[in-house]
Amino acid sequence: MAKIRDVLLESNTWWKEELKLEYHEREIHKQISKYLPLPQIIALTGLRRVGKTTLMLKIVLDFIKKGFDARNIIYFSFDEFREIEIREVMKEYEALMEKNLREGKYLLLLDEIQKLTNWEDQVKRIYDTYGKNIKIIISGSESMFIKKKSKETLSGRIFEFKVETLSFKEFLSFKGVKYEPVGLYEKELARLFEEYILCQGFPELVGIKDKSVIRKYVKEGIVEKVVYRDLPQLFKIKNVALLESLLGIIMEEPGQLIEISDLAKELKLSRQTLSNYLEYLEEAFLIRKLYNYSKNKRKTERKLKKYYPAILSDLIFKEDDISMSKVFEWLIASRLNTGFFWRDPYKKEVDVVIMDKKPIPIEIKYGKIDTTGLIAFMKKFKVTEGYIVSHEKEEQLKIEDFTINVVPAFKFLLRGT
């Protein structure tokens, strides 16, 4: 097993030489930067391979450029160190660098922190003991606050930021593509949008078009590591294969409505087991749950729920219209990052509802334009404007007193609503 000292030397190259980092600006970096001067711990969570470690290294670079002593910046990943304590890393650093962490200012970055038993107690002790001297940044590939204890232990001491896959704007930045004014680059942007779908927003897949590489990356680099390694270490999961099977069901039919009791019977599971497994996948950022929108919060919680996977495997490579329509809906719904859809007892439906001062209904249509669900929603909730995100059509529809904006997906993702 690697020694702590060896890993510290390998990971903290800036102690000896200039830090060189290939970095493309991420929108969340600006949000995080505003909170860095505050004493609270910064926590980065999100799916594997979305760029959390790169963001941590960007913060290291920011600190160094502002004149912070590079040798007072400590980065350590616990991905392969599950049985040690944070204090051991700190002691090894003090001995190696001949430093006293109670004197001076330090930046401590702890990657994959959730691998440690009782990590929240350990971080709390460091914060309470060294808070005036050490700025702490931690990251985890699962939600760090799955357990109620975590929230209680670090209450008031921590700010959490979820790192998402690349937005379309960020993807274009990674490609080094200009897109303004949008009207000048419509053909190029439409083509790049198809490439964006294929990479699914993962930074390392930008520019990769080989389907076998993408499939292997998703399956082995994300799904298998989370399902077969990360989650079983967090929970006592008896049937890991079933967990993967459940994820597969959602990946094959993104956006499906799930009634827990019915699916539990189909899979020959107890309702509670199925609910737990869905929660595990959600906490690991492998799936997202949307609630049926209602002004009544209790009613919203009781209704059917819609589930989208965070990633796709085989479905994304199928070229029939039905599969491409599913992939198109998955991508737009995922990028809008909302918590609601809408469906009435008569099965009139709106794919996504965004919450602003008033709810904004959005339909996602790969092919034929249909306004039935939008009109029903707008009448019920007294909303005058809605959107249809299309594959390529663009127009404005006036129906009765309602305005429906039909916008091509690449334009919609660049300007939002």
Q: How confident is the model at residue 117 (pLDDT cuts 50, 70, 90)?
A: confident
Average pLDDT estimate for 41-64: 96
Task: Please give the average per-residue pLDDT across 85-92, as a whole number.
Answer: 96
H or E element, residue 147: none
What is the DSSP track for 322-376?
HHHHHHHHHHHHHHHT-SEEEE-TT--EEEEEEESSSEEEEEEESSS---HHHHH
Whether 190 and 157 map to the same domain: the answer is no
The residue among 235 and 367 whose pLDDT is bigger is 367
pLDDT over threshold 50, residue 54: yes
User: Same structural domain for residues 94 and 199?
Assistant: no
Whether the per-residue pLDDT at 95 is higher than 90: the answer is: yes
- Same-domain status, 146 and 174: no
Q: For residues 101 and 173, state if they share a domain.
A: no
Interval 325-330 mean pLDDT? 98
Q: What is the pLDDT of residue 236?
A: 82
Residues 88 and 178 in one domain: no
How far apart CA 125 and CA 263 sit, in angstroms, is 44
> Does residue 31 register a pLDDT over 70?
yes
Domain identity same for 137 and 175: no
Q: What band does 72 get if pLDDT is binned at 50, 70 and 90?
A: very high
Instruction: Tell me: do 12 and 131 sit in the same domain.
Output: yes
414 near 179, Cβ under 8 Å?
yes
Half-sphere exposure of 319 (CA within 13 A, CB side): 1
In a domain, 294, yes or no: no
pLDDT recorded at residue 118 = 87
pLDDT in tens, 292-325: 999 876 665 566 899 999 999 999 999 999 999 9
Q: Residue 53 and residue 110: Cα distance in Å, rounded? A: 10
Is residue 266 included in any domain, yes or no?
no
Please tell me the distance from the alpha carbon of residue 278 to that of residue 276, in angstroms, as a whole number.
Answer: 5
Q: How many CB atoms lie within 10 A of CB 73?
A: 21
Tell me the average pLDDT of the chain: 93
Residue at 82 is within a domain: yes
User: Which pair of structure tokens corresponds to residue 257?
Assistant: 């409505």
pLDDT of residue 356: 84
Do residues 117 and 190 both lie within one domain? no
pLDDT band at 8 (very low <50, low <70, confident <90, very high): very high
Q: How confident is the model at residue 141 (pLDDT cuts 50, 70, 90)?
A: confident
Range list of H helices, 98-239: 119-130, 148-153, 168-175, 186-199, 211-218, 224-225, 231-234
Tell me the percentage of the chain whose pLDDT exceeds 70. 95
**Per-residue pLDDT tens digits for 235-286:** 888 889 999 999 999 999 999 999 999 999 999 999 999 999 999 999 899 9
Q: What's the structural domain count of the chain?
A: 3
Q: 78, exposed or middle or buried, with CB in 10 Å at 0-12, 13-18, 19+? A: buried
Asked whether residue 281 is assigned to any structural domain, the reply reads no
31 and 148 fall within a common domain: yes
Q: With b meaning 16 or more CB within 10 Å and e meaning fewer, what string describes 279-318?
A: ebbbbbbbbbebbbbeeeeeeeeebebbbbbbbbbebbee
Cα separation, 101 vs 385, in Å, equals: 57
Q: CATH code at 79? A: 3.40.50.300
Q: Name beta bridge partners: 73.
A: 107
**One domain, residues 12 and 139:** yes
User: Whole-model pTM?
Assistant: 0.92
Asked whether residue 42 carries a pLDDT value surpassing 90, the answer given is yes
Region 4-25: what's the mean pLDDT?
96
Collapsing DSSP states into helix, strand and coil, what is residue 388? strand
pLDDT mean over 370-383: 97
**Torsion 325-326-327-328 (CA) sign:** positive
Give residue 14's domain range: 4-162
- Percent of the chain surpassing pLDDT 90: 85
Residue 147 predicted with pLDDT over 60: no
Say whether both 117 and 180 belong to one domain: no
Instruction: Tell me the pLDDT band of 407, cut-offs 50, 70 and 90.
Output: very high
- Count CB-CB contacts under 10 A for residue 20: 9
Instruction: Tell me, yes or no, whether 233 lies in a domain.
Output: no
Of residues 152 and 213, the one with the higher pLDDT is: 213
Residue 178, phi then psi, degrees to nearest 5: -85, 145
Q: Is the pLDDT of residue 128 over 60?
A: yes
